[in-house]
Amino acid sequence: MLRGRRIVLGLTGSIAAYKSAYLLRLLTGAGAEVRVVMTPGAKEFITPLTLGTLSGHPVVSELTEDREAGTWTHHVELGLWGDLILVAPATAHTLSGMAEGRGDSLLLTVLLSAKCPVIVAPAMDRDMWLHPATQANITQLGERGVELVPPGTGELASGLVGVGRMAEPEDILEHLQGWFAKKAPLAGRRALVTAGPTHEPVDAVRFLGNRSSGRMGLCLAQELARRGCAVDLVCGPLSLGEDEIQHMTGHPLINKIDVETATEMHTAALQALLREPDCDLIIGAAAVADARPAAPIKGKASGSALPDHIDLVSNPDILADLASKRPEGCVAIGFSLASDDGLEAAKKKLATKKCDLIILNSIADQGSGFGHKTNRIRMVWPGNRIDSFELKSKAQVAVDILDAYQNMDR
């Protein structure tokens, strides 16, 4: 459930901080990538060296990284990096800072600038926990969506017995796993997505191809990863900027495999399909070239040496082949790009490509198809059911397609 998840672990100044070393081990052992932020108070109880070694990343705790050099810690980046911030242990002091929106520690500034959800595991003496001020802060934070792993009851560092002990690391791990299962509906599943065009060499510099940018496939991979699904993304040559590609495919749950030709895409996709664990979903979003030159010319042919005609051989239908070899229960979704209405052709593809759903789009619709950031789709289902959608961003179309996939489960 935590594989590939990015967790910012915040530690504050409580004796329970020693338990956070073990918690960190549990989180990384479950596959999460963890970055640690400590308040100065937390460093009184456990060293950054311990947590830095266990997480494999430098620990940050001050707003200024290096006073001499004038560099500062990028709290905004850390807040944006995480899928989740877990503050464990959370002291009464930091909880009150969170409730008030103060920014007087690096951890508080990370929390203020974070876009991701926050979970707190408080630790303090019984009377501090039961104090109306602490309880009011907890209520206020709860109203803002901060989740609580409630403290347990037992012997406290003060010698008192009562409520206030930080929840045990195993219980916090279980809480997080449950949380991700709820928020990441496709956690534990595996998908294979093909994207982009393929280029079929005519000679060393020329190729047959098409104008697909690959954006639709990348949006699908990005949305799958957001929902917790591991993705093998087999990409032909994309026509998007490097930064955009990195932004859309940088999630640790996305395994991007670059290919050039349909033959290479076929081999890579089959390999990804047939490895363990079983694949749950195939989406053929690639615009695969239907044919390739039978005998590509070696080197660069000079203009005058180019042949009058080029013999072509058909490329394999990758999606049809993947769908016929998929494990039981694996869903196959294909695309159909038309230049007219295209409905009859899309219905045929459902059968010939052995798909559970065909996403039909047409270049006759303004803003749809290759090269656009938007798309207008129709979902073509077996049994003549058709769902029509408005023109939307491709990111939103990916949301609609994956909502439809999730609804198939019911």
Catalytic positions, please? 210
Tokens of 295: 């005998």
x/- binding map, residues 340-379, to ligand C5P, per CB under 6 A?
A: ---------x---x--------------------------
Q: Which of 21, 95, 273, 288 binds ligand C5P (CB under 6 A)?
A: 288
Candidates 235, 282, 319, 350; binder of ligand C5P (CB under 6 A) is 319
- CB of 261: closest distance to ligand C5P in angstroms? 11
Question: What CA–CA distances, in Å, run from 72 to 67, 111, 241?
Answer: 8, 17, 29
Any contact of residue 214 with ligand C5P (CB under 6 A)? no
Per the CB < 8 A criterion, the answer to whether 57 and 35 are in contact is yes
Burial (CB < 10 A; 0-12, 13-18, 19+), residue 311, is exposed
Residue 362 in contact with residue 368, Cβ under 8 Å?
yes
Looking at the Cβ atoms of 335 and 370, the one nearer to ligand C5P is 335
**Residue keyed to tokens 């997080």:** 176
What are the residues whose beta carbons fall under 8 Å from the beta carbon of 302, sequence distance 6 or more? Answer: none
Give least dist CB 291 to ligand C5P, A: 9
Question: Which residue number, 306 or 351, has a Cβ lying nearer to ligand C5P?
Answer: 351
Backbone φ, ψ for residue 378 (5° rounding): -125, 140
Q: Is 186 exposed, middle or buried (0-12, 13-18, 19+ CB in 10 A)?
A: buried
The nearest distance, CB 339 to ligand C5P, in angstroms, is 11
**Nearest alpha-carbon partner for 257 in 322, 327, 194, 173:** 194
Indicate the length of the chain as a whole number. 410
Q: Decide if 84 contacts 5 (C-beta within 8 A).
A: yes
Measured from the CB atom, the residue of 14 and 336 that comes closer to ligand C5P is 336
For ligand C5P, which is the closer residue by CB, 310 or 357? Answer: 357
Residue 83 backbone dihedrals phi, psi, to 5 degrees: -80, -20
Selected range binding ligand C5P among 100-108, 109-117, 286-294, 383-391, rule: CB under 6 A: 286-294
**Smallest gap from residue 219 Cβ to ligand C5P (A):** 15
CB of 362 to ligand C5P, least distance (A): 12
Q: At closest approach, how far in Å is the CB of 141 from ligand C5P?
A: 46
- Binding of ligand C5P at residue 335 (CB under 6 A)? yes
Question: How many other CB atoms sit within 10 Å of the CB of residue 387?
Answer: 12
Question: 172 and 331 in contact (C-beta within 8 Å)?
Answer: no
Please tell me whether residue 92 binds ligand C5P under the rule CB under 6 A. no
Sequence-separated (6 or more) residues with CB below 8 Å from residue 365? 376, 391
Site track 161-200 with ligand C5P (rule: CB under 6 A), x = hit:
---------------------------------x------
| Nearest distance, CB of residue 266 and ligand C5P, angstroms | 8
Selection from 36, 61, 45, 9 nearest residue 157 by Cα: 45
Of residues 213 and 315, the one with the C-beta less far from ligand C5P: 315
8 Å CB contact between 11 and 88: yes
Closer to ligand C5P by CB, 349 or 376: give it.
Answer: 349
CB 13 within 8 A of CB 39: yes
- Taking CB under 6 A as the rule, does residue 138 contact ligand C5P? no
With CB under 6 A as the contact rule, the residue among 231, 248, 286, 323 that binds ligand C5P is 286
Considering only 33, 125, 232, 317, the residue that binds ligand C5P (CB under 6 A) is: 317
User: What distance lies between CA 163 and its chain's CA centroid?
Assistant: 37
Instruction: Report the residue number, 53 or 314, with the smaller CB distance to ligand C5P.
Output: 314
Number of residues in contact with ligand C5P under rule CB under 6 A: 15
Is residue 91 involved in binding ligand C5P (CB under 6 A)? no
Contacts with ligand C5P by CB under 6 A lie at: 194, 262, 284, 286, 288, 290, 315, 317-319, 334-336, 349, 353
